[in-house]
Structure formats: structure tokens, C-alpha cells
């Protein structure tokens, strides 16, 4: 697939990479079902039985905290006749997970505890029918799953990120606000929009008062993430509705870290934005080629949240407004790309990370069997 023009310009991808249902299906298989995918925060799974459900790449997954404090992930499918066990998005199981159909009952560790009428059946052994597990790992409070059979460790996908972001002590932060968005665009356009600020003067009047839009210092992209940091304009201390910082700096940050916002897209579905005083996370959930769900969360230090005068509306309102501006233009971008007039167009030097993200997708898509797309 050409990603440069005859004159050697780097170009955007053909329309079908964004719009074709068979491309999308293969992307779910080769990108989302083979990589570690961010599902949420350990903080949301406090206490035995706490769970979240995520639907991804044709799988429905339960991520459950066990009685032993270990977070595990299982297919949300009963081992009897395949009924979906749980239709709630999140909640807490009381000690066990029971199928609503014939009451097969599983422990929080996935073991089958009870299967009515089955114990008399010759050859039936409960221990052979636990919930089907998948790989689950936690990085600094962020929970990831991997649908693959024998995945590489999460650490190999994250590379130097754990060391890079250790000063933010992300595992200590607590959720203050979650907003879910359901938007009419392809998931890759959300990642691409996140990775450039050329649009900031046009799309984001408020954000553009906070950063200089050409001021990003990007780190070299790897095969699994890209990102960089941006400083503030004079008088701005953090990203909030007026640029004022109403919370203490996160403990552990150097003077340099306190003056920056880090923007990292961790492939395939995790947008991590670290501010001097809070963290915003966005997980990306492709539904179909032209539809994507997004879960945005704002996390703060518990010592700040415990203060009687704690406020966070300034940070949430700032990003909710800015995010909606991004979602609207990403939807409009999808409209154009999926219409007859679209042809791949040239990237500028300021869009190198987007081209590199395209190469990441294409490399993953080639990494398969006979049906390699061209
Ligand atoms: S399908 Fe779950 S108990 Fe029968
Ligand atoms: Fe934006």
C-alpha cells in the first residue's frame, strides 16, 4: 500500500483503511486482539468482586478483582451453553459470578464452583470448565488485557514508559470524573487527531491560549507509542478553564515536569495526558469502521481530593470542551474520507507522528497469514 506520493511526499492512507468493514475486522484481529489494550484503572476495581466489563474485537471481557486482591480477566461467556454472564458495564459480584440461565456459579478466580445437575453426569469434571481466562497485567495503576494466546509481557509493549512516567506515581491517583462519548468516526482518526496540534489554533480557541501550538517536543516514535510534551504560555500553570492551577503539583515531579503537559498515544487504544496536577486518560473502543466509543477519565491525588476546598470542574470542563471540539472535527474528517472525492493527501513535517502511526497499523496488518491486505 503506497504511503508516499510519486514525488516522495508522505501521504495519508486510502479511504478503505478507514471505511471498509473487512479491513476493520482484520484490524480488530491483528491489532486489538494481539496487543495489550488498556481497559481502565485498578482504582475502579477496589474490593473483592469489583468488576468492569469491556467489549473488544468480538469479545466481551470481565475484569474482576479476586478475594486475593489479584485482578484477572475472563471471557464473559458461560461454560455451559455460552450465555453472556453479565450485561452490566461495571459493578461488584458478591463472592461469586452466577450465570443467569441455569445458575452455573464461578469463583472470582474463574473456577467453576457449582453446576446444577452436572455432578451426576459421567465424565464431567468441574475443574475442566473454568471461565476462559486471558492475560491481564497492571502498569502503575493502569489495567491492560491481551486477548492473544501467549502474549509477550506487557513490559515489552510499554518499553521505556514505566521509567519515563514513574515520577507521576500514577498508581496513587484516584478517579474524580468519567465521561463517555460515542462518536461517528474511525478509531484511527481519534489517535491521529491526538497526535498533532496543527489544528489547535483553528479548532481549540481555549487550548490555544494555554500552549504554543508548534511548541511540542516529541520523543522518537517506537513501534508501540508516540508522544511528546508541551510547555505553557506565560502565566499558564496547567490546563484548566483559565490556566490557573487549583491543586498542588503531583508529588515527585521535577521543576521541569511541573512546567509541561505530556501527551502520549500508547497503541492501540490508550491516550495518556499528564498535567502538573492531574492525569487525564482516554481509552478508545472501536465499534465499527465509522463508530467509536471513548471513555475519558480525570484522576487526581487523593490528598488533594480530601481537602474541603478541592475543586476539579476547571480541569474537567476544559477538557470536555476541548475533547468535544476534537470529536466533532474527527467526525467531519471521517465524513470527507468516506465520500467519493477523497484521495490520500500529503502530510507536513509537523505530522510525522501520524505517518509513523499509519506505518504501525500497516505493519501489524501485514503481520498475519495468507489474507494480508494490500
Ligand atoms: S448457559 Fe450458563 S448456566 Fe446454562
Ligand atoms: Fe485537538
Percent of the chain with pLDDT over 70: 98
C-alpha cell at 207: 487550548
Atom of ligand 1 nearest to the CA of 115: 3
CA distances, 6 to each of 11, 82, 177, 284 (Å): 10, 52, 48, 34
Give me the pLDDT at residue 215, please.
83
Indicate the top mutation candidate among 76, 83, 97 to test ligand 1's pocket, ranked by most ligand atoms within 8 A of CB: 83
* Cβ < 5 A residues, ion ligand 2: 326
Mean pLDDT of 33-39: 97
Give me the pLDDT at residue 373, please.
52
Helix ranges restricted to H, the chain: 16-19, 21-27, 154-158, 161-165, 187-194, 200-203, 302-305, 313-337, 352-366
Cell numbers 469491556: residue: 54
Ligand number nearest CA of 76 is 1
Mean pLDDT of 100-120: 96
pTM of the complete model beyond 0.85 = yes
Instruction: Report whether pLDDT(372) > 70.
Output: no
pLDDT band at 5 (very low <50, low <70, confident <90, very high): confident
Which residues are CB-contacts of 69 (< 8 A; sequence separation ≥ 6)?
48
Give me the pLDDT at residue 368, please.
65
**Helices 313-337 and 187-194: angle between axes, nearest 10 degrees:** 120
Give me the pLDDT at residue 370, please.
47
Average pLDDT over the chain reads 95
Instruction: Report whether pLDDT(352) > 60.
Output: yes
Ligand number nearest CA of 101 is 1
- Identify the CATH number of the domain defined by range 37-150: 2.102.10.10
Find out whether 300 and 311 touch, Cβ atoms under 8 Å: no
pLDDT tens, residue by residue, 176-195: 999 999 999 999 999 999 99
Q: What is the C-alpha to C-alpha distance for residues 154 and 137, in angstroms, rounded to an integer?
A: 7
Closest CA to 164 of 269, 50, 40, 263: 263
Which residues are CB-contacts of 94 (< 8 A; sequence separation ≥ 6)?
49
Q: What ranges make up the beta strands (E) of the chain?
A: 37-41, 50-56, 59-65, 71-75, 90-92, 96-98, 105-107, 112-114, 133-139, 142-146, 174-183, 216-218, 225-231, 260-266, 270-274, 279-288, 291-300
Indicate the top mutation candidate among 79, 85, 87, 101 to test ligand 1's pocket, ranked by most ligand atoms within 8 A of CB: 101
Atom of ligand 1 nearest to the CA of 82: 1
Atom of ligand 1 nearest to the CA of 83: 1
Instruction: Report whether pLDDT(323) > 90.
Output: yes
Instruction: Specify the residue with its C-alpha closest to ligand 1, atom 4.
Output: 102
Measure 292 CA to ligand 2 centroid, in angstroms. 17
Measure 353 CA to ligand 2 centroid, in angstroms. 15
Measure 102 CA to ligand 1 centroid, in angstroms. 5
Between 74 and 223, name the one with better pLDDT.
74
Give me the pLDDT at residue 104, please.
98
The CATH H-level (homologous superfamily) assignment of domain 160-366 is Naphthalene 1,2-dioxygenase Alpha Subunit; Chain A, domain 1 (3.90.380.10)
- The residues lining ligand 1, judged by C-beta closer than 6 Å to any ligand atom, are 78, 80-81, 83, 99, 101-104
Instruction: Specify the residue with its C-alpha closest to ligand 1, atom 3.
Output: 102
Domain coordinates in residue numbering, the chain: 37-150, 160-366
Instruction: Report whether pLDDT(374) > 70.
Output: no
pLDDT band at 369 (very low <50, low <70, confident <90, very high): low
Ligand number nearest CA of 112 is 1
Measure 85 CA to ligand 1 centroid, in angstroms. 8
Find out whether 133 and 73 touch, Cβ atoms under 8 Å: yes
Phi and psi angles of residue 229, each rounded to the nearest 5 degrees, phi first: -125, 150
CA distances, 246 to each of 178, 213, 276 (Å): 20, 24, 11
Amino acid at each position: 500500500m503506497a504511503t508516499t506520493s510519486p514525488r516522495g511526499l508522505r501521504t495519508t492512507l486510502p479511504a478503505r483503511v478507514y471505511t471498509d468493514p473487512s479491513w476493520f475486522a482484520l484490524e480488530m484481529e491483528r491489532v486489538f486482539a494481539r496487543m495489550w489494550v488498556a481497559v481502565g484503572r485498578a482504582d475502579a476495581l477496589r474490593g473483592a468482586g469489583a468488576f468492569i466489563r469491556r467489549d473488544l474485537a468480538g469479545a466481551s471481557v470481565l475484569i474482576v478483582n479476586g478475594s486475593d486482591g489479584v485482578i484477572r480477566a475472563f471471557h464473559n461467556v458461560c461454560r455451559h451453553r455460552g450465555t453472556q454472564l453479565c450485561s452490566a458495564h461495571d459493578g461488584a459480584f458478591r463472592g461469586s459470578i452466577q450465570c443467569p440461565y441455569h445458575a452455573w456459579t464461578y469463583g472470582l478466580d474463574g473456577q467453576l464452583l457449582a453446576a446444577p445437575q452436572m455432578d451426576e453426569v459421567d465424565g464431567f469434571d468441574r475443574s475442566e470448565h473454568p471461565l476462559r481466562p486471558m492475560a491481564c497485567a497492571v502498569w502503575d495503576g493502569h489495567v491492560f488485557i491481551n486477548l492473544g494466546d501467549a502474549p509477550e509481557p506487557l513490559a515489552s509493549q510499554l518499553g521505556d514508559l514505566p521509567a519515563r512516567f514513574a515520577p507521576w506515581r500514577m498508581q496513587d491517583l484516584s478517579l474524580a470524573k468519567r465521561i463517555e462519548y460515542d462518536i461517528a468516526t474511525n478509531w484511527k482518526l481519534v489517535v491521529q487527531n491526538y497526535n498533532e496540534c496543527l489544528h489547535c489554533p483553528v479548532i481549540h480557541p481555549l487550548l490555544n491560549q494555554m500552549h504554543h501550538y508548534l511548541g511540542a517536543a516529541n520523543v522518537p516514535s517506537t513501534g508501540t507509542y508516540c508522544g511528546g510534551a508541551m510547555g505553557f504560555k506565560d502565566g499558564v500553570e496547567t490546563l484548566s478553564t483559565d490556566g490557573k492551577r487549583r491543586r498542588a503539583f503531583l508529588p515527585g515531579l521535577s521543576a521541569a515536569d511541573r512546567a509541561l503537559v505530556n501527551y502520549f498515544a500508547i497503541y492501540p487504544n490508550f491516550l495518556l495526558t499528564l498535567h502538573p496536577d492531574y492525569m487525564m486518560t482516554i481509552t478508545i473502543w472501536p465499534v465499527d469502521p465509522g463508530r467509536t466509543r471513548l471513555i475519558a477519565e480525570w484522576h487526581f491525588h487523593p490528598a488533594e481530593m480530601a481537602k474541603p476546598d478541592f475543586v476539579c470542574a476547571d480541569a474537567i470542563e476544559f477538557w470536555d470542551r476541548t475533547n468535544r471540539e476534537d470529536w466533532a472535527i474527527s467526525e467531519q474528517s471521517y465524513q470527507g474520507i468516506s465520500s467519493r472525492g477523497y484521495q490520500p493527501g500529503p502530510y507536513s513535517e509537523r505530522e510525522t507522528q501520524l505517518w509513523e502511526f499509519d506505518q504501525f497499523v500497516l505493519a501489524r496488518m501485514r503481520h498475519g497469514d495468507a489474507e494480508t491486505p494490500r
